[in-house]
Chain A
């Protein structure tokens, strides 16, 4: 039974299988994507309120140090790759220069050769010309001698005959001369053709070499880029972890500072909820505290704002990398939601 015969389920099965496979692959991509996103969400600052004592600020510092180390390492690696690249580039330049020189030499040689060949041809043509002239002269002399010898005998009789003979000889010489020029011309054409072929071959070879070189270069470049990207990704990953840890300890610190200064009004009840936006200055001072979601009780809201202003300057914030500060602490949200009251 043939696989593709009409009676077989082979083809439909194949189609079904491929469809399933396609769906699985698609779903895998989708799931993959989602999981990774979730993962990232988890190590992003979903920060729960936690008590942080002074030791945690030390941890915060340590994290900073580690981060600096990782950064330095990444920087060193980057610098090294850059150095390598530079060195390679220099080498390449040297090579290129050499090649260029070689090429120039070759070209010069080719030109010289061509010149030599042309000279040779010219010389030969000159010699030929001379020979021809000599021959023609000898002929002339011979003719003259004959003429003088026969002049006496055939003084008037062969005058017309003799003149036609001379014409004939002249014509012959001319024809011979033309023939020679033609041959010379052909020879020169052949030479030119040969040189052209050589030149084309050389050019082809050169192009091939160049293409090869480019390929190798491209590969090296790609590898270097990939390595750099990997390094960068690793550095970023470490950065992210360090940053998440720093966020954790910093928000713990802020939480503790505010909590110890939060004086709830007597009518405060568990479950009341006020949300504030706090704007920090890079010095670690509170620039502004704004109610973004009121509890509905002005006094409860006001005491939350008061607690934030009472926090004073958070020195640890001023020690942060400006970029990290800008990204995380220029504005933060604080939720006041008492759970420890008697009612």
Chain B
């Protein structure tokens, strides 16, 4: 018996010695989620002419604007390396920079340049991404910078960057009683605006086709609204709807073959689907109250729209095949101008609460609503193709401007203001 006890004790000790070597395991279930600190070192330049654009600065601004990064100020940098072998990791660690972007621009001839860049992880001292010999025209320097921003953003956030995208918007300038309306296109950061259409009569509801090649908008002619489709590259324009009464709010279907439009030709505003190939109309809603502002769901199976059938304007959803309608928004005094995020998870609306109009975000999964903006008289929200940001029109210092808010409501910025009033922004899709 004693022996047995002895034996079992020995066995236990053996087992314990095994246990004693058991690994220490620590589980971490929450994080800090500060902004990711990174440094975009000014790119080295080798060339005759003055550098057309400060590529590193554009990249830094892009990343900072996304609200996910914190850039180390240039004035704090201890060195300005342009090659990995010149990166003193200890210095960058001291600056608490997790990543460093380095690069160089080289002039090949009068209008051709070559860009190289490298994204380096300061902590692991490894190269995350390296590109060399990116051929760029002098005029394309900003595009190149946005392209690099997109690359870095994707590598560091896992989400596709939307810095190379563009925006459409309408400006009204001149005499307040009879202003000049201009439909313009610009980089997503508001730089390089170009006028597409100019008119003495209002231009409304610009929107992009899903490949970004075409746009559609409403333009008044002789005080009557018409819907146009225009190819951006050529400027070729086609009038697709000119019915009696209201013609408005065109929205491209995800497959690019159809337009959802609002027509009041049959009495009151209803949602129709216009097939571009067959030029045929298909009425989707049928109600005595106003149905307007259609927007496609990402899968193209349904359309969300604004209707006052419940007494005041709210967002409803119609199933295209069954034409069954259901109410989507219940919070706020009213909700208008619905847009869905590309993943279909969130619905962005303009919500009125106590006389104030703000951009609201509704979680389609649990119905939770979050007010994203604090600005005054917000309208026309439009979502970035990566679903991270919402651009909207608002008033600032008594003037209509464009502003951006992240879908989590944490990042807000205003776009550089052009002359006059700016309205109706439309964020482009990704350009492939």
Binding site for B on A (CB under 8 A): 25, 29-30, 32-33, 36-37, 40-41, 44-45, 47-49, 247, 251, 254-255, 258-267, 297, 299-300, 302, 305-307, 309-310, 327-329, 331-340, 342
Contact = CB atoms under 8 A, between A and B. Distances in A.
A333 B22 CA distance: 10
B31 A47 contact: no
Contact of A332 (B19, B25, B33): B25
A263 B33 contact: yes
B124 A332 contact: no
Nearest to B68: A266
Given A266-B68, A297-B158, A306-B121, A340 B29 contact: yes
Nearest to B153: A266
28 contacts: A44-B20, A45-B22, A49-B28, A49-B29, A251-B24, A258-B26, A258-B28, A259-B28, A260-B32, A262-B32, A263-B98, A264-B33, A265-B156, A265-B158, A266-B158, A299-B155, A299-B156, A299-B158, A300-B158, A302-B121, A305-B124, A310-B123, A327-B20, A331-B23, A332-B24, A333-B26, A334-B27, A339-B30
A251 B26 contact: yes
A45 B11 CA distance: 21
Contacts of B124: 305-306, 309
B31 A306 contact: no
B389 to A, nearest CB: 12
A118 to B, nearest CB: 59
A262 B31 CA distance: 5
B200 to A, nearest CB: 44
Given A33-B11, A259-B30, A337-B29, 17 more contacts: A36-B12, A254-B26, A255-B27, A258-B26, A263-B98, A265-B156, A266-B159, A266-B388, A300-B158, A302-B121, A327-B21, A332-B24, A333-B26, A337-B28, A338-B29, A340-B31, A342-B408
B50 interface: no
Contacts of B408: 342
Contacts of B157: 265-267, 299
Given A265-B156, A337-B27, A44 B123 contact: no
Contacts of A40: 16, 19
B105 to A, nearest CB: 28
B278 interface: no
A267 B159 contact: yes
Given A263-B36, A305-B124, A328 B24 contact: yes
Contacts of A30: 8
Interface string B141-158: 000000000000001111
B25 A306 contact: no
B156 to A, nearest CB: 7
A109 to B, nearest CB: 50
B24 A247 contact: yes
A340 B158 contact: no
Interface string B122-152: 0110000000000000000000000000000
Given A37-B16, A40-B16, A40-B19, A255 B26 contact: yes
B26 A305 contact: no
Given A37-B12, A247-B24, A25 B1 contact: yes
A340 B29 CA distance: 7
Given A263-B32, A265-B158, A266-B388, A37 B15 contact: yes
Contacts of B68: 266
